Amino acid sequence: MKKTIQKVKVCRICGSSKLYPFLSLGKMPIPNGFIQKEELNMAERYYPLAVCVCENCWLVQLTHIVSPEIMFRNYVYIPSTSVTMVDHFRSMANAIVDKYKLNGSDLVVDVGSNDGTLLSFFKGKEIKVLGVDPSENLSAISNLKGIETMNNFFGIEVAEKIRKEKGKAKVVTATNVLAHIHDLDDICKGVNILLENEGLFIVEFPYFLDLIDKNEFDSIYHEHLSYFSLKPLCYLFQKYNLHIIDIKKVPVHGGSLRIFVSNVKSRYKPSLRVKDFLERESLRKLNRRSTYNEFARRVKAIRRDLVSLLKRLKLQGKRIVGYGAAAKGNVLLNYCKLDSHTIEYIVDSIPYKQGKFTPGTHIPIYPETRLENDTPDYVLLLAWNFADEILRKQVKYRERDGEFIITIPYLRIE
């Protein structure tokens, strides 16, 4: 049987063994490991959750890797359940089509295509599309929607199969997926096989600078093997004659970067924005242990302050529930050891999650409509990346004097 967890001994980008561990969130179940009622008394697998930084290329990465078969074969993250993400992918597709003048003869391949949401906007413009995703459940949904999807992990083998059957791609996209992949060399080799000479590899990921500046520690979880800044990515791409030619800052998932990567021999030359971002990273001293130790100190302070606030509210007889059964929410709950004695229940919009219980903390999950007939004193916003959308949705709850507790970027009650 394949090992379910392995310790990281060398940096996945540069191979250095100089890995400096700076924060441990303890042992906890995988963050999307929601459980059924009948499984509540069964043992759950706990895995270490901790991060280190490579002191050679400065890639921040997990200290242990859980098998992707366990995490991604049946996947519950579905971006089309959020207006914010659907709007985001629509504008992303429109921007790419306009910027690179895509037309009906061009092929766009999306790595980690999930339920086909992003590709559906390219397809709507008569552009040829193909998804690649390892999750059986999401590939089936995407194919049913008419977005042709290969149910597999992307890499050299899949790239060669696509090139043989469909030809080369003008654009390969990868949104919120590169951070989930251990073998980044296989991905880059696959991109080089699949991409046209003047093609673009467009990657979007939560930006590590936002993570530490906004204390987004709950974005650290078993699915996210890497926490990217630009310097280590430049190191990775140059190994494969690829380079970042442009960058766009986008607000999703607490602050992300959309980077545009091409072959060094293409006509594209790096824009000044690339240099600006790299300079900003060196000013932020991402190549100093002190930067990471300081972040770890802030994380421990947030846990201390949140736990004492909730304890105080419970002692006052207040009722507290959670909003958004997000993977990041499960990290926060397990790290702060918050179970149903503190958080009575969680509401969530995803049908698959409703009726289940959170991993490790066993808090019941209900549809959002529960808040129409119930007015707990406080709602702990676990899906803070959708704060605007959720606060807009819950005007009536707030009119009934309900209040939201929001932890990121700082602890506050709204």
Q: Is 348 in the site for ligand JHZ (CB under 6 A)?
A: yes
Residue 20 or residue 352: which is nearer to ligand JHZ going by CB?
352
Give the residue carrying structure tokens 């561990």. Answer: 21
270-274-277 Cα angle (round to 5): 175
C-alpha–C-alpha distance, residues 245 and 257, integer Å: 13
C-alpha–C-alpha distance, residues 181 and 97, integer Å: 27
Enclosing H/E stretch for 109 = strand 107-111
Cα-based distances in Å from 277 to 202, 267, 274:
17, 22, 5
Residue 56 or residue 354: which is nearer to ligand JHZ going by CB?
354
Tell the smallest beta-carbon distance from residue 301 to ligand JHZ (Å): 22
Q: Helices (DSSP H) in 284-345: which residue ranges?
A: 289-315, 327-335
Closest to 197 measured CA to CA, from 217, 168, 166, 161: 168
Yes or no: say if 204 and 250 are a contact pair by the CB < 8 Å rule. Answer: yes
- Residues in contact with ligand JHZ, shown as a per-residue x/- string from 289 to 328 under the rule CB under 6 A: -----------------------------------xxxxx
Enclosing H/E stretch for 352 = none
Tell the smallest beta-carbon distance from residue 309 to ligand JHZ (Å): 22
Q: Is 44 in the site for ligand JHZ (CB under 6 A)?
A: no
Residue 81 or residue 287: which is nearer to ligand JHZ going by CB?
81
* The token pair that represents 287 in the structure block: 């190549």
- Residues in contact with ligand JHZ, shown as a per-residue x/- string from 60 to 99 under the rule CB under 6 A: -----------------x---xx-x---------------
- CA 31, chain centre distance (Å): 12
Q: Is 356 in the site for ligand JHZ (CB under 6 A)?
A: no
User: What secondary structure letter does DSSP report for 10?
Assistant: S
- Residues in contact with ligand JHZ, shown as a per-residue x/- string from 373 to 412 under the rule CB under 6 A: ----------x-xx--xx--x-------------------
Residue 245 or residue 252: which is nearer to ligand JHZ going by CB?
252
User: What secondary structure letter does DSSP report for 12?
Assistant: T
Closest to 29 measured CA to CA, from 70, 76, 1, 72: 70
Q: Is 56 in the site for ligand JHZ (CB under 6 A)?
A: no
Tell the smallest beta-carbon distance from residue 31 to ligand JHZ (Å): 7
Tell the smallest beta-carbon distance from residue 60 to ligand JHZ (Å): 15
Q: Is 34 in the site for ligand JHZ (CB under 6 A)?
A: no
Segment interacting with ligand JHZ (CB under 6 A) among 2-10, 266-274, 346-354, 398-406: 346-354
Q: Is 231 in the site for ligand JHZ (CB under 6 A)?
A: no
Enclosing H/E stretch for 365 = strand 365-366
Please report, as ranges, the residues that interact with ligand JHZ according to CB under 6 A.
77, 81-82, 84, 176, 206, 223, 253, 324-328, 348-350, 353, 368, 383, 385-386, 389-390, 393
